Amino acid sequence: MSDIAPISTGSSRMPDHPPGIAEVRQVPGRADAVARPSDRVELSDRARFLSRLAEPLPIRQDLVDRARAQIDAGTYETDERISGALDALREDLDLSA
């Protein structure tokens, strides 16, 4: 014997349309087809911006080739370049010099 009692709503009649379900209508001219509500998507400006950020940036091959040549020649890491990088890092981190 089961310990689970049957569910009773007090009425044997089913509702015409369950809550949250759109009414299904017949498509004019087609007895076998029904019209269903359509879905719609709206993208926010933030979503569009984030989508653009996900796109890869173009590679500037001329700069890559020049940096590789300077690294190979040992002329890439200069005192001025390192000093400029440190200054930019301090500025980004909002540190005083």
pLDDT tens column, 22-54: 555 666 666 666 667 788 888 899 988 998 888
Q: Three-state SS for 92?
A: helix
DSSP string, 23-44: PPEEETTEEEEEE-PPP-----
Query: In percent, how much of the chain has pLDDT > 90?
Result: 37
pLDDT score of 16 more than 70: no
Tell which wins on pLDDT, 17 or 25. 25
Closest among 45, 23, 47 to 35, alpha carbons compared: 23
Q: Mean pLDDT in the chain?
A: 79
- Dihedral of CA atoms 73, 76, 77, 83 in degrees, nearest 10, equals 160
Per-residue confidence (pLDDT) for residue 9, from 0 to 100: 57
The Cα–Cα gap between 17 and 96 comes to 68
Q: Which helix (H) or strand (E) holds 1?
A: none
Per-residue confidence (pLDDT) for residue 39, from 0 to 100: 85
Per-residue confidence (pLDDT) for residue 27, from 0 to 100: 60
The Cα–Cα gap between 35 and 26 comes to 6
Mean pLDDT of 58-83: 93
The Cα–Cα gap between 88 and 81 comes to 11
